[in-house]
Amino acid sequence: MSIEYTGITREGLSKQIADAIRTAIIDGRLMVDERLPSETELAERFGVSRPTVREALKRLAAQNLIRTQRGPTGGAFVNRLTWSEAHDALVTTATLLIGMNDIPFEEAIEARFALEAACLPFAVERRTEAQLETLRREIEQQQRGSMTDEGFCASDLRFHRVLVDAADNPVLSFQMAGVIEAMQPLMNMLTYRMRDRTRIARLHASLADALQARVTQSALAALKELGDYTLDLARARREG
């Protein structure tokens, strides 16, 4: 690891060190599962104390870039970023972003249904029987009137997640997770009347039918109607 640190001391030593190591990882100078020098060695090499090095390492650990292990064979290792970890990070970021910047409902809903529509053709083509069954199960739950609003939204979320996963493209699933899951708090703010729920469940059923028959046009039409209806609900909430 050949890292120079001729930078300015104006931005915090631990941050500089963290950035140096992160850049080394992104550029590929540090490979996955490679072991970094021990904390004391890093401290010597950068000319700082061990706590400073540790703060830098914690920053990287917070981004899932490294993992640490104790013991003689321990140390800090470059972490292979898994889909699951990246997923969590994206959802956290997107949730905070939406929660802190009061996005208009319309924008968020527009983005979500537009992107979901992009997944739909692949889902129609590649959906499995198991995924169809999961969709049917969720629809059945949504038709029961005994659910709370949160429960209904949670089922809705699971439904759409299966829809996206049916496209069988990890990159798509990863990207979509951000929009869909981060919007759950927003969706929870919509209070669904009984009539709304039955209509939504019926549209979900249309979607599942289209997927089963592998007819892209019908699926897109059902999703569009669902998006428009959600928009209506959001607008009604704003005015009401």
- Which residues lie near a copy of itself (CB under 8 A)? 14, 18, 22, 25-26, 28, 32, 51, 54-56, 58-63, 65, 80-81, 83, 86, 89-90, 92-101, 103, 107-108, 110-112, 114-115, 117-119, 121-122, 169-172, 174-175, 178-179
Instruction: State the nearest-atom distance from the C-beta of 86 to DNA, in Å.
Output: 22
Beta bridge partners of 67: 77
Residue 96 touches which of DNA, a copy of itself, none (Cβ within 5-8 Å per kind): a copy of itself
60 three-state secondary structure: helix
Query: Residue 4 has what DSSP assignment?
Result: -
Q: Please say which residue, 46 or 159, places its beta carbon nearer to DNA.
A: 46
Residue 218 CB neighbours (<10 A): 16
Handedness of CA 28, 11, 91, 234 (dihedral sign): negative
Largest CA distance in the chain: 68
Q: Give the integer Cα–Cα distance in Å for 137 and 112.
A: 23
Q: Which spans of this chain sit near DNA (rule: CB under 7 A)?
A: 12-14, 36, 38-40, 47-52, 54-55, 57, 68-76
Is residue 228 helix, strand or coil? Answer: helix
> Cβ closer to a copy of itself: 18 or 211?
18
CB of 220 to DNA, least distance (A): 50
